[in-house]
Chains A and B, each alone.
Chain A
């Protein structure tokens, strides 16, 4: 066996040398182009630099970290040929549950007066568990009853938001402990985002988990015939995505130092947009985590760039919608060209 490896290696080296460029490069180009565009527009219209402002860049990245964490899970689901509409609502639900267990010691109006001043591990664990359960339900419904992922997660989207509202009848939860709030302080959200992105980048590329995810997305029937337990794998991926939505809810709550039932509305769509802009194909089987990270950053650049140029928030949304569609159109075009080549 050892001799085989040594004889095979040179052949693969030479083939690697002539390999095509990674698809992320073009998205990266778009990202840099956009930054440059805002830089130029900045000097023309507001008389200052867009890029040379660390604070703005920090806010921009922090904003997108929560979306990014969700997008890490959503990317895997989309690669597997599914979709998740529930992540935004799950953020709201976990925000409430985590916040209710993170209140400062001795706070008189606490949700659970006997459970104040807990070690931050408890609210975090509860939030993660809550997200996981939501994902588990999504996955089980899709894998076992064979209903479309769109429907199953649409149901979860409505129900999880319901749980969030019901939990305190819509009242926000404040007075959170400093220990908990530290999770959302400084660069932590970004570190958490890049951390989970790295973990799942590795998982997708180098583990059996990843190979199975791509295989199921590319052809579920062939995956089944190749001995993959498709149902079990689907449940696992949706559960992981739920967990990540929960994590995003925790980060958001810690950053805002308050739990609010309405948070996360529309996050699911931003997360899908980040994945799609990053080159993940909604028909499954294609996508990379690096692309999603760049996709999330592009969304961030758009938001902060327009704010920087004092563009009205409504116009921002209109343009953002256009950019998302343009990204997909460009991607389709590129893929068609590659296929005909």
Chain B
């Protein structure tokens, strides 16, 4: 296969020698194997100019591998790769960029201590004759770019001062600044609020109108129908089908993705609600939130809704002693206790699944068993400091089977698991200490539908066993589907508690945005 250099490709492109290639990108019969796994098996994919093409599939279905091949990160074992009708071969991400393919990664790759403009033009800074950077020119280019994309940011802001959503905007602007024709977005909405999603969609539509093709990976169905033109579904490394987004229903997609019916996404059951397990009075953390009061009963699922940054996660962290409260009181089973660190919270019967799996959840370098057992070690299973390995291994196996963690072996490093399976391991960590009160912060963020339904089922089961569950989620359908009551926060204040019957999307959004 003859390869041509990016510059030649550009000349050919501009000469119009390949008039009106209908597809920006055509990948056919791609195969990619990793030692022991066939990640992609004979997969084909086409992207039209001016279209948003969504990729759906459970974690491990091969979406990410395909994206990485398109972005030049992996080289396929076989298959053909056509860009605007021209057969090409990518050797590196930089190569892909020069061909006009840019990827916006799920974990944003920006440099915190540099300005927005510096981040966007890194490696391509406008220089003067002496080789110094022309900052004014760089700012001007950034302003133009932002204007074109309707991004309200200042080029001189340091990236570390930006919210996640704004960082994403910067990443998109950066990708566009390469004059890319193909933009790959990997779960761009997993960490941003509904309102920010709207802005993102406006930008995506503007990019569409400019004739760019966008590959959009997501787990969220509603986004699919809102923004995508086509959808391709993958399962177990195979391409299952391509459809027009207007021709399929939510259930069709789920069926294609999992290969079976998921009968219930939110298997909520009404269980008898018991006594008050946790009672919070006027809880306050200086500068983050204040005046939070609620009761949580045994068997109850209390949903926490609100926009990102409204203080939901701060309340959870304070309850668990990660950031001890500055005032207010916490009562467990009617007795007031002072929670000054996570250890005291655990001794009081609490467990806390944190929001950010990577930053504060997983020990990525360690194996599954080490990840599962770590909280349990506080509560014994040791004699004279020695860990009772057999006892713990048995417990870990139990949890692994109960939660259906898909792994051959508990000694597999957790980093090799998919997001959903990592999350199950972390949930297992807390189930092992048999908590009376379980705080779950975004329990299903970034995981696939199948695992999501399993986790929902588990939460329901736990409530049935009398565990008091506090569940924070940015996904309204999840909050509405699972909660007995919903507590809504806005800018560090509690704006209301709504019972299951009265909880509607509109009511909660009203309270969350006041």
9-residue interface stretch from A89-97, A181-189, A213-221: A213-221
The 0/1 profile, CB within 8 Å of A marked 1, for residues 349-373 of chain B is 0001010000111111110001001
CA distance A8 to B397 in the complex (A): 6
- Given A221-B359, A229-B343, CB of A15 within 8 Å of CB of B394: no
CA distance A228 to B363 in the complex (A): 13
The 0/1 profile, CB within 8 Å of B marked 1, for residues 190-219 of chain A is 000000000000000011110110110011
Please name all residues of chain A whose beta carbon is closer than 8 Å to the beta carbon of B362 when the two chains form the complex: 219, 222
CA distance A16 to B367 in the complex (A): 14
Q: Does B132 contact A (CB under 8 A)?
A: no
B374 close to A228 (CB less than 8 A): yes
A218 close to B377 (CB less than 8 A): no
A222 close to B390 (CB less than 8 A): no
Q: Does B210 contact A (CB under 8 A)?
A: no
A211 close to B374 (CB less than 8 A): yes
B366 close to A214 (CB less than 8 A): yes
Please name all residues of chain B whose beta carbon is closer than 8 Å to the beta carbon of A227 when the two chains form the complex: 341-343, 345-346, 375, 378
CA distance A221 to B358 in the complex (A): 10
- Given A4-B398, A208-B382, CB of A225 within 8 Å of CB of B352: yes
B363 close to A219 (CB less than 8 A): yes
CA distance A164 to B385 in the complex (A): 36
- Given A15-B410, A341-B35, CB of A225 within 8 Å of CB of B363: no
- Given A15-B408, A212-B377, CB of A222 within 8 Å of CB of B360: yes
The 0/1 profile, CB within 8 Å of A marked 1, for residues 422-464 of chain B is 0000000100000000000000000000000000000000000
Q: How far is the CB of A237 from chain B (nearest CB, A)?
A: 14
Count residues of chain B with CB under 8 A from any CB of chain A.
Answer: 44
Q: Does A169 contact B (CB under 8 A)?
A: no
A219 close to B360 (CB less than 8 A): yes
A15 close to B411 (CB less than 8 A): yes
Neighbour of A209 across the interface among B385, B397, B398, CB < 8 A: B385
- Given A206-B389, A207-B385, A218-B366, CB of A11 within 8 Å of CB of B377: no
Neighbour of B342 across the interface among A8, A12, A209, A226, CB < 8 A: A226
Q: How far is the CB of B372 from chain A (nearest CB, A)?
A: 11
Q: Does B415 contact A (CB under 8 A)?
A: yes
Please name all residues of chain A whose beta carbon is closer than 8 Å to the beta carbon of B346 when the two chains form the complex: 227
A223 close to B374 (CB less than 8 A): yes
Of A8, A224, A286, chain B has the most CB atoms within 10 Å of the CB of: A8
Q: Does A339 contact B (CB under 8 A)?
A: yes
A225 close to B354 (CB less than 8 A): yes
8 Å CB contacts to A: which residues of B305-346?
Answer: 320, 322, 341-343, 345-346
CA distance A8 to B395 in the complex (A): 9
Of A15, A225, A286, A340, chain B has the most CB atoms within 10 Å of the CB of: A225
CA distance A5 to B398 in the complex (A): 9
Please name all residues of chain B whose beta carbon is closer than 8 Å to the beta carbon of A286 when the two chains form the complex: 365
A206 close to B360 (CB less than 8 A): no
B387 close to A222 (CB less than 8 A): no
Q: How far is the CB of A126 from chain B (nearest CB, A)?
A: 27
Q: Does A285 contact B (CB under 8 A)?
A: yes
Neighbour of B370 across the interface among A5, A215, A229, A340, CB < 8 A: A215
Neighbour of B398 across the interface among A8, A212, A222, A225, CB < 8 A: A8
Q: How far is the CB of B250 from chain A (nearest CB, A)?
A: 35
Q: How far is the CB of A287 from chain B (nearest CB, A)?
A: 10
Name the CB-closest residue of B to A12: B393
Q: How far is the CB of B111 from chain A (nearest CB, A)?
A: 19
Q: Does B409 contact A (CB under 8 A)?
A: yes
CA distance A84 to B411 in the complex (A): 30
CA distance A9 to B393 in the complex (A): 9
Please name all residues of chain A whose beta carbon is closer than 8 Å to the beta carbon of B375 when the two chains form the complex: 226-227
Please name all residues of chain B whose beta carbon is closer than 8 Å to the beta carbon of A285 when the two chains form the complex: 363, 365-366
8 Å CB contacts to A: which residues of B111-154?
Answer: none
A207 close to B387 (CB less than 8 A): yes
Q: Does A19 contact B (CB under 8 A)?
A: yes
A225 close to B320 (CB less than 8 A): yes
Neighbour of A19 across the interface among B345, B411, B429, CB < 8 A: B411
8 Å CB contacts to B: which residues of A158-186?
Answer: none
Of A16, A218, A226, A340, chain B has the most CB atoms within 10 Å of the CB of: A226
- Given A15-B408, A206-B386, A341-B34, CB of A226 within 8 Å of CB of B322: no
Name the CB-closest residue of A to B361: A222
Q: How far is the CB of B114 from chain A (nearest CB, A)?
A: 22
Q: How far is the CB of B472 from chain A (nearest CB, A)?
A: 15
Please name all residues of chain B whose beta carbon is closer than 8 Å to the beta carbon of A211 when the two chains form the complex: 370, 373-374, 377, 387
CA distance A214 to B365 in the complex (A): 9
Please name all residues of chain B whose beta carbon is closer than 8 Å to the beta carbon of A19 when the two chains form the complex: 409, 411
Please name all residues of chain A whose beta carbon is closer than 8 Å to the beta carbon of B247 when the two chains form the complex: none
B377 close to A208 (CB less than 8 A): yes
The 0/1 profile, CB within 8 Å of B marked 1, for residues 2-20 of chain A is 0011001101100110110
Please name all residues of chain B whose beta carbon is closer than 8 Å to the beta carbon of A339 when the two chains form the complex: 415
Q: How far is the CB of B105 from chain A (nearest CB, A)?
A: 17
CA distance A15 to B407 in the complex (A): 11
Q: How far is the CB of B352 from chain A (nearest CB, A)?
A: 6
8 Å CB contacts to B: which residues of A1-51?
Answer: 1, 4-5, 8-9, 11-12, 15-16, 18-19
8 Å CB contacts to A: which residues of B181-217?
Answer: none
Please name all residues of chain A whose beta carbon is closer than 8 Å to the beta carbon of B363 when the two chains form the complex: 214-215, 218-219, 222-223, 285
Please name all residues of chain B whose beta carbon is closer than 8 Å to the beta carbon of A341 when the two chains form the complex: 34-36
Please name all residues of chain B whose beta carbon is closer than 8 Å to the beta carbon of A1 when the two chains form the complex: 391, 394
A8 close to B394 (CB less than 8 A): yes
CA distance A340 to B415 in the complex (A): 11
Please name all residues of chain B whose beta carbon is closer than 8 Å to the beta carbon of A12 when the two chains form the complex: 393, 397, 410
B409 close to A15 (CB less than 8 A): yes
The 0/1 profile, CB within 8 Å of B marked 1, for residues 221-254 of chain A is 1111111110000000000000000000000000
CA distance A215 to B377 in the complex (A): 12
Q: How far is the CB of A20 from chain B (nearest CB, A)?
A: 9
A215 close to B342 (CB less than 8 A): no
Name the CB-closest residue of A to B353: A225
Name the CB-closest residue of A to B74: A340
Q: How far is the CB of A183 from chain B (nearest CB, A)?
A: 28
Please name all residues of chain B whose beta carbon is closer than 8 Å to the beta carbon of A215 when the two chains form the complex: 363, 366, 370, 374
Please name all residues of chain A whose beta carbon is closer than 8 Å to the beta carbon of B410 when the two chains form the complex: 12, 15
Please name all residues of chain A whose beta carbon is closer than 8 Å to the beta carbon of B394 when the two chains form the complex: 1, 4-5, 8-9
8 Å CB contacts to A: which residues of B245-293?
Answer: none
CA distance A340 to B65 in the complex (A): 12
Please name all residues of chain A whose beta carbon is closer than 8 Å to the beta carbon of B411 when the two chains form the complex: 15-16, 19
Of A15, A212, A218, chain B has the most CB atoms within 10 Å of the CB of: A218
CA distance A224 to B360 in the complex (A): 9
Please name all residues of chain A whose beta carbon is closer than 8 Å to the beta carbon of B370 when the two chains form the complex: 211, 214-215
Residues of chain B having any CB pair with chain A under 8 Å: 34-36, 320, 322, 341-343, 345-346, 352, 354, 359-366, 370, 373-375, 377-378, 382, 385-387, 389-391, 393-395, 397-398, 408-411, 415, 429
Q: A214-B370, A285-B366 are in contact. List 9 more A-B contacts (CB 8 A).
A: A8-B393, A16-B411, A209-B385, A212-B377, A215-B370, A218-B364, A226-B429, A227-B342, A227-B378
Of the A-B pairs whose beta carbons lie under 8 Å apart in the complex, a sample of 12, sorted by A's number, is: A1-B391, A4-B397, A8-B394, A15-B409, A208-B382, A208-B386, A215-B366, A219-B362, A225-B360, A226-B378, A285-B365, A340-B34
Residues of chain A having any CB pair with chain B under 8 Å: 1, 4-5, 8-9, 11-12, 15-16, 18-19, 206-209, 211-212, 214-215, 218-219, 221-229, 281, 285-286, 339-341
